[in-house]
Structure 1
Amino acid sequence: MTLRLGRRQFLMGSSALAAAAAFGAGPAWAQAGLRQFFWGGQARADRTYGVNDLFAASEGGAQVDSSFLGWGDYWPKLATETAGGNAPDIIQMDYRYIVEYAKRGAIAPLDDYVGGALKLDGFDEDQLEGGKVDGKLYGVSLGANSVAQLVNLAAFEEAGVEPPNRDTTYDDIRAMGEAFKAANIRGGMKVISDGSGSEPMLDNWLRQKGLALYTADGKLGFGAEEMTEWFTLWNGFRTDGICVTAEDQALDTNGPLETTMVVLGKAAMMPSNSNQLVAFQTLVQDELTITNYPRIAAGVGGGHYRKPSMFFSVGGSSANKELAAQYLSFFVNDLEAAKILGVERGIPCIGTVRETIAPELNAQDQIALDFVANLGDLLGPLPPPPPAAAGEIDISLLRTLSQEVAFGARSAEDAGQYFVTEATAILERQA
């Protein structure tokens, strides 16, 4: 299923969401069943549809009308539907946006259903807390995950380079990149994609420096000096042929996985998430694995954290909230559903569910489970949820500036200062 929305349409959708919150959304549309919307690819969709069939056949269950889009197209579409008061009953929600959607009433608090339609016995407490806004539960975590580096093992073997491991630094990446250049495999494949526009990679790099992307009170946790250093790092990688070219990176639309640098064969590794290994492996014949993001220096850790990979929330305008809560309960508790889902959305948050699926995991699933469970000194605390404007800063500022630097339209210094000035202004307007 495909939908393309341009930047103007995205901004219109975001504005409409704000307007709906200010003036009251349109009517809730009662349905005989449930309507569900999520981001992801076909592999995720197949698993979700399998669980939906189980739910429909369960006692008190109902039919679920489900649809999906890639990440980049998902949020404009969701904003538009929410603004019109016709949000899906079941909404896949991200940690980045849960505060914004909760504060605008676009998703509903679930506390009244806990212990009734929504059973959360034995749920990991940190994952439960991750779905709360101002003390109320707005999202049920579908799994724990961590950011990760996707690695094409076959490409590294072909280049005669040892693949990255948990001790790999950014300096090591440079050395690997030089070796890839010398090997000149697959028409000039680079060792890594351009991570300058990756918010999770920037966040990880900042955390290793003892800084934060955002503070608990919704402000930037770093300054222009760090942002300039970040753009300069990737400018050097790009200029020296360590990471992919600006033209190649522009092919990644931040939507379908098919447009990413590893799937296109442009790079041997790229930033990803632990739960995405399963989906990427279905698209690539080469053997893939995951490892941590590079360390900024030997022995420096703390950049990673275990976060809710995503949530299911209930639409604020839904006329079927209790039934939707029942579905959420089924999705995270039912053992047959768990066998279908595996760890594609992250490591299950209930111990009995983890124990049930562990013996049945395939190689990629087991890698993801082991990675999240064994982060060791790489692991730091879960940061507070990003402020409501974080999505705008990521999409309209970080990614735009990273491309402008990559194509030579701005210097790293200019982009670093501009980012901090504009991001601060966006946060102040939002506040």
Structure 2
Amino acid sequence: MSIRLRRRQFLMGSSALAAAAAFGAGPAWAQGATLRQFFWGGQARADRTYAVNDLFTAANGASVDSSFLAWGDYWPKLATETAGGNAPDIVQMDYRYIVEYAKRNAIAPLDEFVGGALKLDGFDEDQLEGGKVDGQLYGISLGANSVAQLVNLSAFEEAGIEPPNRDTTYDEIREKGEAFKAANIRGGIRIIADGSGSEPMLDNWLRQKGLALYTAEGTLGFDADAAVEWFTLWQGLRNDGICVTAEDQALDTNGPLETTMVVMGKAAMMPSNSNQLVAFRTLMTDNLTITNYPRIAPGVGGGHYRKPSMFFSVGGSSANKELAAEYLSFFVNDLEAAKVLGVERGIPCIDKTREAVAPDLGEADQIALEFVANLGDLLGPLPPPPPAAAGEIDASLLRVLSQEVAFGARTPEDAGQYFVSEATAILQRAS
């Protein structure tokens, strides 16, 4: 679904606009200018974004024409607009794609605006580094987050099973899954979604083994044996009724949150991100929380990291780069904007905005903040940005092979060997 800014029926727009009045009129050169903005997310994110856009317009006089799509629909649309030379002025960018877009000049370097239109005083250094490509700044992190497991506590309570915690291992997920299956609640809901096609879950599992999804040189950081082991792990969980069936997992289109396994009532857990708890809670009446991904063995950590949840970047073909940079500065610095945004896009990256947000956080936001702040031994270093072809490998290889194994078209052995050989070929072609 895509909703344009012109339809101003927002949950928070009127109150945000009233709060903005205190800023007074913006600079004369901005009056009447319009920025085009495009982001992925759901309605809850859109409401918050549009309210901040109202604040920016009230303060600066420039309007923001904004639209959004679900993750799976967003990237094809952005690629089409970029190829046609019609990219938005402000685009939401992901860590996995920032290298590709930067190297194609599809997004613009922001260094010339830092200290002027773009104020970054007190910005978390690790989050700034995450937005750099070849030493230049291409993306402003909108919040720190971490991968997380979404957990339906209501389903666990109904099944009479203790939910997972920070020490739970894959073996214990299997044990709990057997008990969950025996409880046979909600028409046979399974304990966990099929994570074999989840790039973040594979990445986390590899990191715990001392491996990596990608190296700093842009090559694969694991071999075929590891890939075979990964597909075999999930084939066993699938065959034993621990994770959801192939047919059910195929319903998840990697698009709207409504098609995910937890929301559809097919699984009690699924891979997610810390900043998504708020959005999921708007879709369900069950009690939801988040925890970490399973450990590969007791005491093994290091799989998680504090990742820029997403960036705002400036379109490479934008005719309003300085104004767009000013918008980015407003989005991450303004205290009223911070209160509107909360932690829906992650934990704010500047101390003063974190302090402004904390007192008004709801329960779900507090859970997300506490989770990211207290990863402890689960936390490892931020990996290098993935290579330009990482998006293709994720969407056209990992997810496809996951389904082929699930439906019996390939064995885990065949899929693991093919994944490594084909991913290597894709990386070589893109280099």
TM-score normalised per structure 2: 0.93
Which structure 1 residue ranges, 4+ long, deviate > 6 Å from structure 2?
none
What's the CA shift for 1:179? 0.7
2:39 corresponds to 1:38: yes
Residue equivalent to 1:184: 184
Query: What SS is found at the alignment partner of 1:66?
Result: strand
SS in 2 for 1:282: helix
* Corresponding position of 1:421: 421
- Determine the structure 1 residue equivalent to 2:400: 400
Q: Which residue of 1 aligns with 2:307?
A: 307
SS in structure 1 of the partner of residue 149 of structure 2: strand
Secondary structure of the residue aligned to 2:151 is strand
Q: Which residues in structure 2 correspond to 1:330-341 (within 5 Å)?
A: 330-341=330-341
Distance 1:220 1:125 in 2: 27
Cα distance in 1 for partners of 2:2, 2:107 equals 24
Question: Matched residues in 1 for 2:61 and 2:248: separation?
Answer: 47
Which residue in the other structure is 2:387 paired with?
A: 387
Q: Which amino acid aligns with 1:45?
A: A
- Contact 1:38–1:67 (CA under 8 A) maintained in structure 2: yes
Distance, in Å, in 1 between the alignment partners of 2:69 and 2:381 is 31
Given residue 283 of structure 2, which amino acid in structure 1 is its aligned partner?
L
Structure-to-structure mapping, 1:338-353, within 5 angstroms: 338-353=338-353
**Matched residue, 2:7:** none
Supply the distance in 2 between the matched residues of 1:207 and 1:125 (Cα, whole angstroms). 23
Distance of 1:228 and 1:87 partners within structure 2? 40
The aligned runs of 1:154-233 (5 Å cut-off) are 154-233=154-233
Report if aligned partners of 2:158, 2:185 keep a CA contact under 8 Å in 1.
yes
Distance (Å, rounded) in 2 between the aligned partners of 1:33 and 1:43: 23
**Displacement of 1:146:** 0.2
Q: Partners of 2:326 and 2:143 in 1: how far apart?
A: 18
SS in 2 for 1:213: strand
**How is 1:15-94 mapped onto 2 (pairs within 5 angstroms)?**
32-58=33-59, 60-94=60-94
Structure 2 CA distance for aligned equivalents of residues 222 and 312 of structure 1? 31
Cα distance in 2 for residues equivalent to 1:32 and 1:47: 22
1:279-290 pair list within 5 angstroms: 279-290=279-290
8 Å CA contact 2:206, 2:212 repeated in 1: yes
SS at match of 1:301: coil
Contact kept in structure 1, 2:170 and 2:296, CA below 8 Å: yes
Structure 2 regions of 5+ residues with no counterpart?
4-31
CA contact (8 A) 1:61 1:327 kept: no
* SS in structure 1 of the partner of residue 158 of structure 2: helix
Q: By how many angstroms is 1:101 displaced? A: 0.3
**Does structure 2 conserve the Cα–Cα contact (< 8 Å) formed by 1:92 and 1:313?**
yes
Identity of aligned residues (%): 85
Q: String of CA shifts for 1:108-153, please: whole Å, max 9, x gaps.
A: 0000101110000000000011100011100000000000000000
Give the Å deviation of 1:2.
Answer: 5.0
Match of 1:28 in 2: none
CA distance in 2, matches of 1:373, 1:45: 26
Deviation digits for residues 306-333 of structure 1 (CA, Å, limit 9, x no counterpart): 0100000000000000000000000000
* CA RMSD in angstroms, aligned pairs only: 0.9
Matches within 5 A, 1:99-114: 99-114=99-114
Contact (CA 8 Å) 2:2, 2:67: kept in 1 or not? no
Q: Is the 8 A contact 1:304 1:380 kept in 2?
A: yes
Shift of 1:61: 3.6
